[in-house]
Amino acid sequence: MPGTTGRTGGVDVMAGADGRTATTTTTPPSPGPPPALWRQRNFAALWSAHTVSQFGTQLSFFVLPVLALTTVGATPGQVGLVSAAETLPFLLIGLPAGALLDQWDRRRVMVVADAGRAVALGVVPLGHALGVLSVPLLCAVAFVTGLFTVFFDIADQAFLPAVVGRHQVADANSRLEFSRSAADLAGPGLSGLLLQWAAAPLILLADAASYLVSALLLGAIRPPRPPAGPVPAPAAREPMRTRIAEGLRFVFRHRALRSLVLASALANLAGFGGALSALLPAFALRDLGLSPGRLGLALTVGNACALLGALFTARLAGVFGVGRVLLAARCLPGLGVLLLATAGPGRAVPTLAVAAGLLACGSTAYNIVQVSLRQAVTPAALQARMNASVRFVIWGALPLGAAAGGLLGSAVGPRAALWTVAAVSLLSVLPPLLTREVRALRDFPGAEVG
C-alpha cells in the first residue's frame, strides 16, 4: 500500500534451504543480554526519525490527492498518474539501487534521501505561489520524491539489523510498525483539520520539515562495528549485473518466498499506493459528497485498528502460528474494499471507518510478520539486494495499480472499479494458501549468518 509508508512492503519467509551455504565464524561469547531497545541510543534515534517521517508522510499521502482534485481539477485518471509517478522509480532503478546499497553507507544514503525528499516537496508550495501548479508538475515532484524513497526504503530495512542485532529485529519492527500505525491513525484527521485552515500546498511544508528532522536524527546514529572475521571479496569487483542476479536468485529460489512475493504484488495492485490511491479520494469527495475533514475523520477512526495489529500480531503468531496469521492478515484488506464499495452518502463515514479498519489491521499485521521474516533469513551481505529484488516486484505493482485504478475509475466510475479492486485483493491470498511452506509455518525462522 501506499501505506502506507508507509506505504506497503514485500514479504519473506523461512522456506527451507535455498541451496546457499552460510559461512559461520567463531566469535567471543556475549557478555550478557543486550539492553532494552528504548535504552539503546541508536535505536532511539532511528525510531524517532522513523516516527517523525511517518507523520509527515501521512500529511502528503492525504493532501496530494485532495490538492490534485480541488486545486488543479484533476480527474481520477490524472490522480492515478500522480500516484503512479511516485512508485514508478521502483520499477526503473529498484534492482541496481539494491546492488549499490550493499556497498554504500546505508545511514548516509538515508540522510541524503530525506534531504532530497524535503527539497522536492518544497517545490509544490513554490509552484502554487508562482501560479504554475499543474498535474505535470505534481507528477514530476512525485517522481523525484519516489527516486529518493527507493534508496531510503531499501537502505532502511537493510540498516535495522545493524542497529539492534538480529535477535531484536522482530521486537524493533513491532515498535517501528506501532509508530507507523499511530501516524496512520492521526494523519488523516490532522490533515483534514489542517485543510480547513490552510491551503493544501502550505501543508506540504510540514512534510518537508519532517524529512529534515528525520535526516538530523539519522545523522546522530553510530551503529556498532561488526565482529572481526574473514573479510569477503569486495562486491565492487563483481559486475552489477552479477550482483543483481544474485539477489534475484536468492529471492526466487525460495518456493514459499515466491508465493508471498506474488501475493504482495497482487495486494499492492489493489491497495493504498495502488488502485485505491486513485479511487478513494474521488469516490469519497465526489460520489459520497464528503468534505476532506469528514474523510479524514473516517480514516482516523478506522486506522485505530492498525494499533491492534501492531500490539497483538506477535502474540497471535505465537498462539496460532506465523502461517495462519499471514493468511488471515492477507484476507482482511480485501474484505475492507468490498465493504467500501457498498458505502452510500447516508452512511458514508461509518462504512469508510470500518473498511479502513479492516485494511489497516490486516496490512499492519502482515507487515510486522513479513518484514521480520525477510530480515531473519537473509545474510547481512545480501540484505539490500534481497530488499531491492522483493520490492522491484511488489512496489513495481504500485504504479501499475494506480494507473489502472485511475483509468478504470474514469471509464466505469469509482464504485464499479472498487468491486474489481476488491476481487484482486482477495485473490492475493491464493498463492500462500496453496503453498504448504507458508500455510504450515509455525514459528519465525532462525537467523541466517552471512
More confident position, 31 or 301 = 301
Per the domain annotation, does 34 fall within a domain?
Answer: no
Cell of 217: 536524527
DSSP-H helix ranges across 220-347: 240-252, 255-270, 275-282, 292-320, 322-341
Asked whether the predicted pLDDT for residue 19 surpasses 50, the reply is: no
Number of domains in the chain: 1
Does residue 429 form part of some domain?
A: yes
Segment of 35-39, 47-51, 441-445 carrying the highest mean pLDDT: 47-51
pLDDT band at 188 (very low <50, low <70, confident <90, very high): low
pLDDT of residue 354: 92
Average pLDDT over residues 4-19: 36
User: Where does the pLDDT of residue 428 fall: very low under 50, low under 70, confident under 90, or very high at 90 and above?
Assistant: very high
Q: Find the range with the poorest average confidence among 168-177, 193-202, 331-340.
A: 193-202
Rounded Cα distance, 117 and 56, in Å: 11
- Radius of gyration, alpha carbons of the chain: 21
Q: The pTM is what?
A: 0.65
Least confident of 100-114, 283-297, 302-316, 413-427: 302-316
Task: Let me know if residue 128 belongs to a domain.
Answer: yes
Residue pair 43/163 in contact (Cβ under 8 Å)? The answer is yes
**Among 119-123, 162-166, 291-295, which stretch is predicted with the lowest mean pLDDT?**
162-166
Q: Is residue 234 part of a domain?
A: no
- For position 181, what pLDDT does the model report? 66
Considering the domain boundaries, does residue 228 fall inside one? no
Over 80: is that where the pLDDT of 257 sits?
Answer: no
> pLDDT class for 7, splitting at 50, 70, 90?
very low
Query: Roughly how many angstroms between the first and final C-alpha of the chain, as a whole number?
Result: 31
Whether 247 maps to a domain, the answer reads: yes
Residues 237-252 have pLDDT tens digits of 567 777 778 778 888 8
Domain CATH number, residue 331: 1.20.1250.20
- The arithmetic mean of pLDDT across residues 1-7, rounded, is 38
Among 19-33, 58-72, 232-246, 275-289, name the one with the lowest average pLDDT.
19-33
pLDDT digits (tens, 9 = 90+) for 261-279: 888 889 988 887 788 878 8
Looking at the domain assignment, is residue 210 inside a domain?
yes
How confident is residue 422, by pLDDT bands cut at 50, 70 and 90? very high
CA distance 340 to 424: 14
The predicted model gives 66-91 an average pLDDT of 80
pLDDT given at position 27 = 42
Dig out the grid coordinates for 214 from the structure: 528525520
pLDDT of residue 26: 42
Tell whether 113 is covered by a domain.
yes
Query: How would residue 165 be classed by pLDDT, with cut points 50, 70 and 90?
Result: low
**Residues 6+ positions from 377 with CB-CB distance below 8 Å:** 12, 13, 14, 254, 445, 447, 448
Report the distance separating Cα 333 and Cα 444, nearest Å.
Answer: 23
Please state the φ and ψ torsions of residue 428, each to the nearest 5 degrees: -65, -15
**d(C-alpha 409, C-alpha 286), whole Å:** 12
Q: Under a CB-based contact definition with an 8 Å cutoff, are residues 183 and 51 in contact? A: yes
The DSSP call for residue 284 is: I
The pLDDT, as a whole number, for residue 333 is: 92
* Element (DSSP H or E) covering residue 163: helix 135-164
- Find the mean pLDDT for residues 159-170: 70
Provide DSSP, 17-67.
--S--------PPPSSPPPPGGG-HHHHHHHHHHHHHHHHHHHHHHHHHHH
Would the CA dihedral through 174, 175, 176, 179 be positive or negative? positive
Q: What is the pLDDT of residues 292-349, one digit of tens each?
A: 778 877 877 777 777 777 778 878 888 888 888 889 999 999 999 999 999 988 888 8
DSSP annotation of 235: G
* Domain of 70, in residue numbers: 7-16+39-222+239-439
